[in-house]
Amino acid sequence: MKPRIRNIITCLLVGFISPLQAEQAFTISDQTTNVRLRQEALQWTPETITIIKKADLKSTYRRDLEDIQGFTPGVIIDSLFGTPQGAAISVRGVGSSQTSKGFEPAVAVSIDGVYIGTHASQMPVLFDFEQIEIARGPQMTYRGMPNTGGSINITRSKPTGQYDADIRASFGDYDRREFDAVINFPIAERVAGKVAFSWKDEGGDYLRNTAINRGENSEDRFAISASLLWELNDLVTAHYTYDIEDDAGDTPGLLNISTESDLVCSNSIANGNDATCGSGPPARAIPQTGILERTAQNFSNKRRYKGDYHTLRIDLEWAGRTMTSITGLRKNDEETDQDLDATQVDFYSVSSEQDYEQFSQEFRLTEQYSEKLHYATGFYYLSSKYDLFQEEFFILNTLGNAGLGDAHGTLDVQFLTTETESTYFSTFAHVNYVLDDQWTVDIGSRVSIVEKDFNHSPSGVRINNTFTPSPVIISENKDWIEWTFSAGISYKVDEEAMIYFRFSEGFIPGGFNENAVSIESATPYGSETTDNWELGMKSEWFNDKLRLNMSYYKIDLDKKHEQFIASVAPGRLESVIDNVANLEINGFELEFEAVPIENLYLRGTYNHMEADYKSYMVPDLANPGAELSLKGLRPNRAPPDSVFLSALYSFDFASGIVNVYAGYKYSNDYQTNPNIRLAKVNNYTTSDFSIDYVWRDWTFRLFSQNVIDNRYLQNVVNVTDADIVPIVQGATNASRLVRFAEYNRPRYTGLEVIYTPDLSNLFN
């Protein structure tokens, strides 16, 4: 064979074989957690905690919390319509989805130790962060924030004190463009700085408005963060972060899935026009436009959300003790327009202005008192204030014409004002004691005091620019005192396995109905409480090639808040909120990591859950004085089975590395509103895919989310007259006005470029 031909063949063989030579060697993650207020190995912590590191997210395209829910068994994260960056989060069937800022979330989300006290802003961009800890089960004796389902703790990266940068840009379907950057730099000796920037713009044309020929669901959001880390000396460290964000996108477009029994349809039919009625049988939930990609809304769907946040953390270490102070100040201003009838007729639309302020202070002392004993103690304080001014257009005239309310002109507007102030104070202690080389026990308790002041004026009327306040002024005050307890015991079988048993309690405080239309429907409701029992095992196999963790859990959720229609006086039906339900949840979950070969990383979760109402009693409107049992309904966001599997494969190619990622997620049916049969996310499967080429400081990624373009309902809402007006003359039932829904995003495909240059010699 001639030398030239032999050299050509050799080069071709080398080019063919080189992809089989793994450049990136994966290992089972060696993670630590601070959930129990001390740094410890995650695998030997007797809690069900999942940690997602920055490297996990950088392995494929993921933007926010909704993109990571498969990583953790039993966790569902849906976007929440009408709420900027809003999230409806459920952990093991315990969750909440209220858009009102008067409700505390069932799952506590915090950023750098500062609790986010409303469902808004719980879907932050996941770019500048170090890790995410998702703890299942109540965390009341460690963390100050009230919760019944668990906690999600997001920790952002600290200033490194070096010149470095992490820059990401992407674009894809529907004119979606994103840009993020984190830049670190030294300032002085022991002082380091960091600036982070995030921007997103999207046309949203996957949902087209046929009524006024515009695209809906556009997004225009930017956020800036500046951080300063000051190591005063070897004992004291101070870390301050200032954030601002501005969201000027659309309020998500809604689809009208009303049927002939809804007033929005019956009015149209009576006028010889059925254009506002759904085109299919009720069980199919087909919108009146006939397809999911079209809406017909004629009112503004604009919103504006501005956030201004301060975080200060100070750590002092001396003589084996650590004192930590975390101070947070969050201010949000929000303006929202929404066409709630989701049709081209003037039936029911809303505009609202909301201001929210929150101040929190956490102080704790931890110490490894001896080789066997570790303790943590401290207090937590949270105060918040929430103001709402809301205007409801067209509905007074609609109800008057239907004989369901007083007569009003077409342009008469109903308005309400609400102001709620809350203070929350708690003190806690938690002790961990090592009995011997195998047995460890811990016990903790927290006492919490909550006070809320509620001032509410419903059903005022505006005619042009003349405001006539409601004659009803509601002013209420309520205190709650809650004691929560946790205890656990663990047994270390050997160097690769541990079993544990835990019991923990949690609560979220009661409150007031901000949509109350009279004094009777404004009666305060009590706290929700949970008891959580758990038996778990953590293990590693085959010389750390496989990590397998399993747990069985049982949860009693008592005094659950539910909204329902009740007769508050003869001939008066109103929408009220009260503690009328109890849930029992039993489940089994599994999560694993595996590295069968050094350049292949596998990860997966499985959750099986049986969630049932033990009791759910509401007034029987057809039989005054009697009650109706709804215990046969399915609780929210509690699918019987859910599965997640992912694979990441890496190989050499030319002078770089190729990473191929594939993810698969399956879930059984689950309800997003137990009282509405159509409010069901049907049995569904989604898949994600990406392929990267990493060359020097650059990563080029082609990705696709929801590859099979699976579409499903995320939110379904029934609006009745009892939600809006105080009196329905001689009524024995509430009249349904309109039913609307929101659907999930379609398939999204795009290109992402990541640049991480080495700037260490930039100024040398």
Give the DSSP letter of residue 67: G
Evaluate if residue 764 carries a pLDDT over 90: no
| Alpha-carbon gap, residue 722 to 303, rounded angstroms | 27
pLDDT at residue 270 in the model: 47
pLDDT digit string (tens) for 140-183? 888 788 999 999 999 999 999 999 999 999 999 988 999 999 99
* 281 C-beta neighbours (distance < 10 Å), count: 9
pLDDT at residue 730 in the model: 53
pLDDT digit string (tens) for 447-487? 999 999 999 998 889 998 899 888 888 999 999 999 999 99
Closest alpha carbon to 621 in 548, 465, 694, 730: 730
pLDDT at residue 268 in the model: 57
| Alpha-carbon gap, residue 156 to 163, rounded angstroms | 18
Q: Answer for the pair 528, 579: CB distance below 8 angstroms, yes or no.
A: yes
| Alpha-carbon gap, residue 175 to 204, rounded angstroms | 8
Residues 6+ apart with CB under 8 A from 429: 375, 376, 377, 444, 445
Q: What value does the mean pLDDT take over residues 497-503?
A: 97
Q: What value does the mean pLDDT take over residues 646-658?
A: 95
DSSP-assigned beta bridge partners for residue 255: 741
Comparing 264 with 73, the larger pLDDT belongs to 73
- 12 alpha carbon, distance to own chain's centre: 51
What tokens were used for 508?
Answer: 């979220």
**Which band of pLDDT confidence, cut at 50, 70 and 90, is reported for residue 280?**
very low
| Alpha-carbon gap, residue 242 to 177, rounded angstroms | 25
- 162 alpha carbon, distance to own chain's centre: 33
What tokens were used for 690?
Answer: 């990406």
Domains of the chain (ranges; CATH) run: 32-755 (2.40.170.20)
Q: Answer for the pair 277, 271: CB distance below 8 angstroms, yes or no.
A: no
Q: How many residues are listed for the chain in this entry?
A: 764
Give the DSSP letter of residue 100: S
Evaluate if residue 345 carries a pLDDT over 60: yes
Place of tokens 């389902």: 149
Place of tokens 């709650």: 480
| Alpha-carbon gap, residue 102 to 278, rounded angstroms | 33
Helix ranges restricted to H, 559-658: none
Q: Answer for the pair 603, 646: CB distance below 8 angstroms, yes or no.
A: yes
pLDDT digit string (tens) for 586-636? 999 999 999 999 999 999 999 999 999 999 999 988 888 899 999 999 999
pLDDT at residue 263 in the model: 86
* 604 C-beta neighbours (distance < 10 Å), count: 19
Evaluate if residue 99 carries a pLDDT over 90: no
| Alpha-carbon gap, residue 496 to 538, rounded angstroms | 8
**Which band of pLDDT confidence, cut at 50, 70 and 90, is reported for residue 7?**
very low
